[in-house]
Structure 1
Amino acid sequence: MASQQDLIKATACAVVDQLNAGTVTPLDLLDALEARIKEVDGQVNALPILCFDRARDAAKELMKKPLGERGILAGLPVPIKDLTAVAGVRTTQGSPIYKDVVPTKSNVLVERLEENGGVIYAKSNTPEFGAGANTFNEVFGATLNPWDLSKSAAGSSGGAAAALASGTAWIAHGSDMGGSLRNPASFCGIVGLRPSVGRVASTPAVALARMVSVQGPMARTVEDLALMLDAMSGEHPADLISLPKLPTSFRSAVRAGTKPKRIAYSPDLGITPVDPEVVAITRKAAMAFADAGVIVEEAHPDLREAHECFHVLRAYDFAISKLQLLRDKRDQLKPEVIWNIEQGLKLTVDDLAKAEAQRVTLAARAYEFFQTYDLLLCPATITPPFPIEQRYLAECNGTKFDNYVQWLGIVYAITLTCCPALSMPCGFTSTGLPVGLQVVGPPRGEASLLAGARVLEDILGLRDSTPIDPRPAK
């Protein structure tokens, strides 16, 4: 059997191959993770809730099945974001209100992962109710960036991203409304995918069709990401907008190596300031596609309504999901959450009708754009990782933002198009911090998106940049 250190450094796909061959067991992997968490997570604070007893019980049950019949993940351990219910495990949502809540039933996405051979061993840290792209809360504190422990890991899936970067996870679950899978991936030098709405089934909470928020996978490589998406995807009768599983696996699509013919690059999608160093790094990465014979042009769909549209839809989502908390527990909510709910309560039917019409227009423009281009590339985050003490980015390249989410426009604009999108590592700043490239595919086009991202991953040669030992502040 490989050493624990070798296992931690191995890709998820390589570990699953070993599980299926019987050269390692799910219990071996849990032992390796527990040792790694003790070694590094005290510095990073990525996985504040551990459930190794539950995980070992689940692993032992899974091991009663023959090799090759243990599901897509075959016993691979998976952490779940602390917004999502896992039966018998604390689920705090990063809020003092729920700090002692232990659900009796798991979300259907957790059940799906377990049916496919995933073993749940931890909950990953998140900002309160996932609000904000910096992972800190009053229950567990802040998650620090493994590349520089003075910096933010972004959010809201910051714990998951930091765990992947520091070697305490091979794959991870996250969720995304306005970039919560993509921003942490960018800051932590890993890969995070926002899938199409409905691609991953999830238990409805306050609305049957929360069209701005999705669940998705995170990993260290594009093929590992595809493996996780295979284990997460498929329809479920509890989720009425969930999509059927495709006949061909996403991992097969990645391995096929299909190359895009024509791609577009945009430094800013026409809607946001971007740090000049981030522009230079992402542009260079996008132009590397030309080395593989791909046509690269500077273009983007018209997204001018994105800010207005997203702020209305986000506020509405907070109002319908958190109104009772505002009434009953206002003193325990962070200011940003209160602001979001109150913005939602001010909305009129006319406001909502306008926002929904804008979103239809944005999605239609994106669909037309992808009749010409196979992929759209741009920065995943407009800035390198910033100091953990900053609650959010207040300004960029001379432009001040109106609120705590406006700096996320480059990702939430893509949310509104309904197109799948991922962030992948594409280079480093002069101080050695990772920069993510957002790669956007056509509607419901995860297969071609992942295939194209894998081609670029090969060209850029950054696949083995993680996991790393946490690095002290520079």
Structure 2
Amino acid sequence: MHSGAVVGQNSVLVYIDGFLRRMKDRTMLSRRNFLKSSGTFLSTAALPSLSANTLLANAREPDDLVGYDATGLAGLIRSGQITQQEVVEVVARRIDALDPVLNFMTTRTFERARAKAGTIPLDSAFAGVPILMKDMIDVGGVRRTDGSWLLATNVPDKNVEYVDAVEAAGLNIIGMTNVPEFAGGFSTNNDLFGETRNPWNLEYSTMVSSGGAAAAAAAGIVPMVHGTDGAGSNRLPASVCGLFGVKPSRLRMLSGEANGGHDLTKTNQTMSRTVRDSARLMDLTEDKSGLLYPPVGFVEGPTSQRFRIGFIPDAPGIVDVSKEVAQAQKRVVRLLESLGHTVEEAQWPIDTEVFARYYPAYFATRMLPLKAMIENLTGVSVTQSKLLTGFQSSFAAKATETPAEEAERAEAYLATLPERFKALFTNFDLVLCPVMPIVGVLNSDFSPSEVYSSEIMRKRIGNLKFTGPVNFAGNPAMSVPLTWNSTDGLPIGSHFIAPLGGDRALYELAYELEQASPWGENWAPYSIKHVPI
């Protein structure tokens, strides 16, 4: 069990420090040298992507497993209707067919998955069903890049505790999914692997750092994917990709960090096509010690309890909630009321402008050790080193201008957020609000080469105003896919937040909403449902 410690700075610095020191004897640390040293670890950013017409022209036989969630696939394996090896091959074909168009993968671990297939106990919960992991967690012997040239050849020696639990649950890891560099961009796009495209509309982003994972699940590659959520990364991608995405309570889950601790804002869980898959994995990857919260266990279905739900139409500041998003949430309010829940309007407890001021000041201090590491070992400035994207290197350079007093004020302000949310739940069991104020973001709206500025950051944070504060507060939250067919062709998620430790209530409500407004047959145009493999 974990110690309960919260990591004060981004734990990836541990990897960067060790990796750079191993590379120190090289005469020049550059992206060119990283490519030369990477062996078979080749970037896909320069590879040609297939058009939709090419994809359809190369389609093969229909996939007989379309429509099964992970629990359903486990049942087929357990009953002998299909083998673990056969499921691995189906998923490998799905990846080969759709990744050239959507670009959701960073590392394929097909041979690893093939070696494990046939050895995974049939009485495990998922009995050998493949899963994709986000490229920001340690899987022993599998490359972890965090979307950066800086870690292009980084291979952790062993699993973290959370990954041990994922594998003990009977899931077979078949690859890693794309992320922005160090989760720092506002779209899943980086210099090493390129941009991930949304299966619902290729011109649109899958949003923040779990975007590669969300694209894979929305395309039906696997029914459930691993993700992390540090400011909305299991909820924003879930919203624009039509998935069920969960952020657990802070410290709820087993540690996903190499040192056994926990990041202040980041949690591990899933995005999935069904509630039951997510609920089952929650049970198998949560910390059962009960030191902080009673364990959730396996939530099997809805509750008869009727909830008092606070509805927050908007949080004034920076980016107003669009008419289409507002209408979508009002439809969800009507659905909740038809199910017997009490819904009353409430106010967002956070001043968006103040949050937007202190959010970058907090993270700027986390960039300083990284900047110092790179400059000490390369002998040039962080921007000259070319080891980070333009956005990250310019943010790191700008971080030195953040006064220490401003960083202290940021930490002090963000530390008040748990009490602000606690007060919100004095009168409500749960809260409903948008996942983000707009339906979606074009891929062209963000480039990794973009130069950081405070105004750009402020505008980006405007799209995180409903999700980011929840991470600092530590509350559990979920995005539920209840609205479809927006004018942009994207789904629109609905954001539910619970008090600290209230994860069970979210799952109970999610089951009820899934029954009342089934979403399982809503498939993206670029998915295995419509593109036979």
Larger Rg: 2
3-state DSSP of counterpart to 1:384: coil
Confirm or deny that 1:292 pairs with 2:344. no
Distance 2:102 2:79 in 1: 33
Instruction: Show CA shifts across 1:94-132 (max 9, x none).
Output: 111222222222232212211221211010011111112
Per-residue deviation, 1:44: 0.8
Q: Is 1:354–2:409 an aligned residue pair?
A: yes
Contact 1:79 1:122 in 2 (8 A): yes
For 1:457 and 1:259, how far apart are their aligned partners in 2? 16
3-state SS in 2 of match to 1:48: strand
Q: Percent identity, please.
A: 28
- Of residues 350-359 and 219-228 in structure 1, the stretch that sits farther from structure 2 once superposed is 350-359
Matched, 1:421 2:477: yes
Report deviation, 1:360. Answer: 3.4
**Corresponding position of 2:286:** 233
What does the per-residue CA deviation read over 1:4-43, in whole Å, with 9 as the maximum and x for residues that have no partner?
Answer: 7242321222223333434333222112111212222221
Task: Please state whether the residue corresponding to 1:133 is helix, strand or coil.
Answer: coil
Q: 2:22 aligns to what?
A: none
Matched, 1:312 2:361: yes
- Residue 83 of structure 2 is matched in structure 1 by 25
Task: Please list every run of 5 or more consecutive structure 1 residues that lacks an aligned counterpart in the other structure.
Answer: 237-241
C-alpha deviation, 1:244, in angstroms: 7.1
3-state SS in 2 of match to 1:73: coil
Once residues 511 and 364 of structure 2 are traced to their aligned partners in structure 1, the CA distance between those partners, rounded to angstroms, is 36
Aligned equivalent of 1:377: 432
Q: CA deviation at 1:382?
A: 1.9
Equivalent pairs counted in the alignment come to 454
Q: What does the per-residue CA deviation read over 1:344-402, in whole Å, with 9 as the maximum and x for residues that have no partner?
A: 4444554344333323322112112223111111111222223212107x9xxxx9863
Scaled by the length of structure 2, the TM-score of the pair is 0.78
Q: Which string of whole-angstrom CA distances, capped at 9 and with x for unpartnered residues, describes residues 202-234 of structure 1? A: 344689452112222111122222123223222
Q: SS of 1:5's equivalent?
A: coil
Matching residue within 121, 124, 131 for 2:184 = 131
Task: Determine the C-alpha separation between the residues in 2 that align with 1:137 and 1:205.
Answer: 24
Kindly provide the amino acid, as one letter, of the partner of residue 357 in structure 2. E
What displacement does 1:468 show? 5.0
How is 1:32-431 mapped onto 2 (pairs within 5 angstroms)? 32-62=90-120, 65=121, 67-68=122-123, 70=124, 72-204=125-257, 208-234=261-287, 246-252=294-300, 255-271=301-317, 272-304=319-351, 305-320=354-369, 323-325=372-374, 328=378, 330=383, 331-391=386-446, 402=458, 404-428=460-484, 429-431=486-488
Q: What displacement does 1:53 show?
A: 0.9
Q: 1:190 to 1:291 in 2, by over 3 A?
A: same
CA–CA distance in structure 1, aligned partners of residues 462 and 296 of structure 2: 38
- Report the Cα distance in structure 1 between the residues aligned to 2:266 and 2:296, rounded to whole angstroms: 25
CA–CA distance in 2 between the matches of 1:444 and 1:245?
6
- Alignment correspondent of 1:432: 489
Q: Which amino acid aligns with 2:510?
A: A
Residue 464 of structure 2: SS of its match in structure 1? helix
- In structure 2, how many angstroms separate the alpha carbons of the residues matched to 1:165 and 1:336? 28
Counterpart residue identity of residue 112, structure 1? A
Alignment RMSD (CA, Å):
2.9
Cα distance in structure 2, aligned partners of 1:343 and 1:442? 36
Equivalent in the alignment of 2:63 = 5
Equivalent residues of 1:171, 1:228 under 8 A apart: no
Matched residue of 1:422: which SS?
strand
Residue deviations 1:411-439 (CA, integer Å, cap 9, x gap): 10222221111112121313432111111
Amino acid at match of 2:341: V
Is the alpha carbon distance of 1:247 and 1:97 closer, same or farther for their aligned partners in structure 2, counting shifts above 3 Å? Answer: closer
What amino acid is the match of 2:438?
T
Residue type matched to 2:526 in 1? D
